[in-house]
A and B are shown apart, each in its own frame.
Chain A
Amino acid sequence: MNHLPQAWGRPRDDVYGPYDSSYLQNNGPNQHTQQPIVTGTSVIALKFKDGVVIAADNLASYGSLARFTNVKRLRKFADTSVVGFGGDVSDMQYLDRLLNSLDIDEAYSSAGDTLNAHNLHTYLSKVLYKRRSDFNPLWNQLLVAGLDGEDMPFLASADLLGTTFSSPSLATGFGAHLAQPILRKVAPDEETAAKLSKEDAVQSVKECMKVLFYRDARSLDKYSIAVITKEGIDLKEDEKLEQQSWAFADKIRGYGTQVN
């Protein structure tokens, strides 16, 4: 009989060969996120006269694989703001849970003072900066849209490094290259944005979503769009790109069907 109780019931080396325990060994460093895995692409947003419009498609990619096609990347907060998430989807879901608990904590103080979009953006940027300082980043680029303390339109960005900035129009990821130039044409500065009508703003953002779908390989024609005004949040999560025209494509070498 074997006198090592730890060995009882285990496969014998002389029968099965020595056990390969290498998989148990974690002889590497403590692993933190080194790269995003399942990712969302661009988020775009534009301020207008009395609010902000923000949009993101419903795709979560696994590398080049279109893995999940019904992922909502816009999130309401306390009926005052919308957060749009680009980058890692699991980190987005973590932040979603974090915001849920923040929302509940806030609701407990019955004073009726909710966090506005500006407060929310400050908070999120601190969370992101803290995590990057711990070398354990949340791999996201966020846009926070809503109204600030004076009920004026608010739009700002925060990313995995804790970098923050605000502008009349913002776009993350591919959108920074493809959509932002279009949006900047619509609203080059705050004064112009303050005169922009809601209809024009929504129209411009939809147009940008279309351009992104044409050229961003990790994008989808199903998207979410939210309009935040004093009246509340109008969030639509099952929009489809309309009036696509791929006529431009067959004139471009390598895009259409022609070979040379």
Chain B
Amino acid sequence: MFRNNYDNDSVTFSPQGRIFQVEYASEAVKQGSVVVGIVSKTHAVLVAVKRNAEELSSYQKKIIAIDEHLGLSLAGLASDARVLSNFMKQQSLSSRLTYGRAIPVSRLVTSIGDRAQTNTQHYGKRPYGVGLLVAGVDESGPHLFEFQPSGMTQEMVACAIGARSQMARTYLERNLEKFADCGKEKLIAHGLRALKESLAQDKELTVENCSVGVVGVRGEGMTAIEGFKLFDGQDVQQWLSLVTEGAEEGEGEGEGMEVDS
């Protein structure tokens, strides 16, 4: 019987140059329900589909507010995400304490990237089984970052991770040019539409299974920020109604014009 000898730990390369434990961790991300993030010149949004393990249970937490100026959404092991989110909370509090400054988003993301990387290079450690989308604003405006268990982080214009996220990514790629100039409402609508693409056939977005997080600046080139706000439950309705069938007309027009050209 064939048995993979190179996946017993996260420090051993396979002869093909792969580290299987890290790849398995990436699989864990793909098991998680889908989350989408988009950034414009003024806002960064996160939208997520929540799952409930069974009929009787509550829905999982997909978006976590970290600080006034940033939050994250997760796909994968929620408990691992909590560890990372606690660390990020501490980092951002400590930045405010020692410098009186909101921590720059890129720096915070780099710091969790470094932590995740050490897990892939020390025997007996396990990579984080979670992927994150981090949305925030800092002195250089709104940002969206992707984080993967390998320790890889990169800044994105739009991103989707989790189960069936390829469909959402296709939607994002198709509408890429529109995002930069979107306001808060349009950006969230795009996010929700991308989310819809990834949904299984019999599923629909409802106030129960959907979360929205928004952060932004009050106009380009900020100083005054619109703090990270998390919408759950009934609060999501206002956003969902943006993308219900009746409200889609405007977008339909847009689609038609594209076909024309």
Contact = CB atoms under 8 A, between A and B. Distances in A.
A122 B98 CA distance: 6
B104 A113 contact: yes
Contacts of B3: none
A112 interface: yes
B139 interface: yes
Interface string A122-160: 110010000000000000000000000110000000000
Contacts of A150: 223
Contacts of B99: 115, 119, 122-123
Contacts of A109: 104, 106-107, 110
B101 A115 contact: yes
Contacts, number: 33
B100 interface: yes
Contacts of B107: 109, 111
B139 A113 contact: yes
A119 B107 CA distance: 16
A111 B106 contact: yes
A115 B95 CA distance: 11
B220 to A, nearest CB: 16
A75 interface: no
A111 B100 contact: no
B138 A126 contact: no
A118 interface: yes
A130 to B, nearest CB: 10
B56 interface: no
B8 interface: no
Nearest to A114: B139
A151 B196 CA distance: 44
Interface in B113-151: 138-140
A113 B138 contact: yes
B77 to A, nearest CB: 29
A113 B100 CA distance: 14
A149 B224 CA distance: 11
Which of A109, A113, A126, A149 has the most chain B CB atoms closer than 10 A to its own CB?
A113
A126 B98 contact: yes
A85 B254 CA distance: 63
Given A112-B140, A150-B223, 15 more contacts: A109-B110, A111-B104, A111-B106, A111-B138, A111-B140, A112-B139, A115-B99, A118-B100, A119-B99, A119-B100, A122-B98, A122-B101, A123-B99, A126-B98, A149-B101
Interface of A: 109, 111-113, 115, 118-119, 122-123, 126, 149-150
Closest 6 CB pairs of A and B: A122-B100, A113-B139, A119-B99, A119-B101, A113-B104, A111-B106
